[in-house]
Structure 1
C-alpha cells in the first residue's frame, strides 16, 4: 500500500466518526499541517466522493491544507471546492463555503455569493463568515451589498456574522455601511448589536451615542459595548461607565481592565 493509499484510508475512517469527536478534528488538523501532494490528492479524492461525510472531511482538509507552507496546491484546490458549492446537500455546501473562507481567494467570491439566499441558515451563516475573506481588498461592492442584506437576516447567527463583517470592512466607510450598522444597534441579539455599536464607534459615528449609553446600563453588557465606549471616547458616557464599574467590581479582570481604559478615554476626551 502506498502512502497515498494510507492517507486515503485515514480520511475515510475519520469520515465515519462524529464531527463532535476529538479524533475527527485531530485527523483534520494533522492534514492541515501537511504540504505534500499525497495528502492533497487524498483530500481531493474524498472531497469528490459521493458519500456526504467523505466530501465534508475532504473539504475541511482542503480549506487549510498547507496553510503554514504558503498553500502550495491553491490553484488545484479552488476548482474542487467551488464545484462542491453546487452539491444538493446542505452540509456539503456549508463545508465548501467555509473552506473558501479559509482559502481567502477572491476567485471564490461568486460561489459564495451564489449561496447567499440558501434556505438553510447554517449555509447563510457560512456565507456571512466567508464574505470578508473572499471580498478582495478593497472589498468589492457585491460583497458589501451581500453583507448588508445578510445583516437583516431572520437568523441571529447570520445577522451577527454579517454585522461583524461590516464592522471589519476598513475600506468601506460609506454611508450605506454606516446606515446598516445603525439599523442593528437595536437588534434583539446582543452580540449583533455589540458588533454594530463597535463598527460605528470605530468610524467615529456618534449617532448611536444615546443608544450606547442605554445599552451599557443593561444588566450584562457585552465586551464590544465597552470597546465601543473606549473608541468613541465620549464624555457623555462617563456616568454610565462609572456605574457599570461599581456593578462589575468583582467581575472579570480583563473586562474590568478594559472598562478602566474606557473611563480614562472618556475622561480625557477634548
Structure 2
C-alpha cells in the first residue's frame, strides 16, 4: 500500500467478476499500488459479512502488511451503505492502542477518519506529534471537519508542521472545511500567509478571506504586482470583496486568462459601485 492516503481510486464496475479470495490476494500481494487499491475499493463495495470477517482477521494478524490491508478495507467498507460501523470502529480503536508499525498506524488513523465518529478525535490527537509525517498527515484527515476544541487545537498545531503536505492540509482544514471563526484560527491562518510553500499560503489566504480578515490585502496586492497570479488569489479577492482591489482586478483582465469567469466574479464583488464595475 502507498504511504499517502489515496484521494482517488480508479472505479471498478460493481459486477467485477473476481472472487473475494482473488480480491484479497490482489490487495495483499499486488505491487502496483493502483491495482491493489482497485481491489480494496471493490471489497468496499461488496461490504458483505464475509468481507468484514476477512478484514477483521487481517487486522489481528502478526504480519504488518496484512494488518495494514485489513485497516484499509475496514475504512470505507460497504459503499455506499456503510456496513458494521460499530464493529469496524472497535477493531480499529483496539489496533490503535498497540500498533507500533508506522505504516499500519497511518492506515488505522486514515480508516478511522472515514467513520466520522466523535471518539475518533481523541484517538487521532494522540498521534499529532508522531515522528512519521504520514501518520501526522492521517491525523489531519481524521480531524478535518471536526469542530471540538481538541480537534481545532491540534489542527492549529499541525498547521505549523515541518512537513509541507501536513501543514498544507491542516491549513486547508482550518480555513475551508469548518465554519468556525475564532482568534486562534485567524492567527494560525495569518501565520501561514508567508509560508515558503505557496499552496499553504494560498489556503491561508482563502481561509482568511472567508472570515473577512483584511490582513490578506497586502498579500493580494503583492500577488498582483508579482506578475504571476494564482486562481486562489482571485478566489480570495472575491471573498474579501474589498473595493481597493477593484482597479487591480480590472488591470488583470488585460492578460490573465486562467479563469476568466472567476475573475469577473471577483471584479463584481469588489466593485465600489455599478458605474465603476467595468
TM over 0.5: yes
- Residue of structure 2 in register with 1:48 after alignment: 60
Shift in Å, 1:23: 1.9
Separation of aligned partners in 2, 1:33 and 1:268: 52
Is residue 222 of structure 1 aligned with residue 230 of structure 2? yes
1:154-193 equivalence runs, <5 A: 154-168=162-176, 170-193=178-201
Q: Which runs of 5+ in 2 are unaligned?
A: 1-18
| Contact 1:11 1:54 survives alignment (8 Å) | no
- Residue of structure 2 in register with 1:129 after alignment: 141
| Contact 1:45 1:58 survives alignment (8 Å) | yes
Residues 53-103 of structure 1 deviation map (CA, whole Å, 9 limit, x = unaligned): 22222211111011311x231100012112333411111111111111111
| Contact 2:75 2:114 survives alignment (8 Å) | yes
- Residue of structure 2 in register with 1:241 after alignment: 249
Shift in Å, 1:9: 5.5
Point out the more displaced range, 146-155 or 206-215: 206-215
- Cα RMSD over matched residues? 2.0
The secondary structure found in structure 2 opposite 1:33 is helix
Separation of aligned partners in 2, 1:61 and 1:142: 28
Q: Which runs of 5+ in 1 are unaligned?
A: 1-5
Shift in Å, 1:169: 5.0
Separation of aligned partners in 2, 1:157 and 1:239: 34
| Contact 1:234 1:269 survives alignment (8 Å) | no
Q: Which stretches of structure 1, 4 residues or more, deviate above 4 A after TM superposition?
A: none
Separation of aligned partners in 1, 2:21 and 2:224: 53
Point out the more displaced range, 38-47 or 187-196: 38-47
Change (3 A) 1:269 1:163: farther
Shift in Å, 1:34: 2.2
Residues 233-254 of structure 1 deviation map (CA, whole Å, 9 limit, x = unaligned): 11211233234333323xx4xx
| Contact 1:16 1:53 survives alignment (8 Å) | no
Shift in Å, 1:257: 1.8
Change (3 A) 1:107 1:50: same
Change (3 A) 1:61 1:221: farther
Q: Which has the higher helix share?
A: 1
Residues 243-269 of structure 1 deviation map (CA, whole Å, 9 limit, x = unaligned): 4333323xx4xx222122112211256
| Contact 1:163 1:195 survives alignment (8 Å) | yes
Separation of aligned partners in 2, 1:45 and 1:218: 56
- Residue of structure 1 in register with 2:46 after alignment: 34
- Residue of structure 1 in register with 2:23 after alignment: 10
Change (3 A) 1:38 1:268: farther
The secondary structure found in structure 1 opposite 2:114 is helix
Change (3 A) 1:140 1:241: same
Point out the more displaced range, 162-171 or 115-124: 162-171
The secondary structure found in structure 2 opposite 1:246 is coil
1:56-95 equivalence runs, <5 A: 56-69=68-81, 71-85=82-96, 86-95=98-107
Shift in Å, 1:48: 2.3
Change (3 A) 1:21 1:128: closer
Separation of aligned partners in 2, 1:269 and 1:53: 62
Shift in Å, 1:184: 0.8
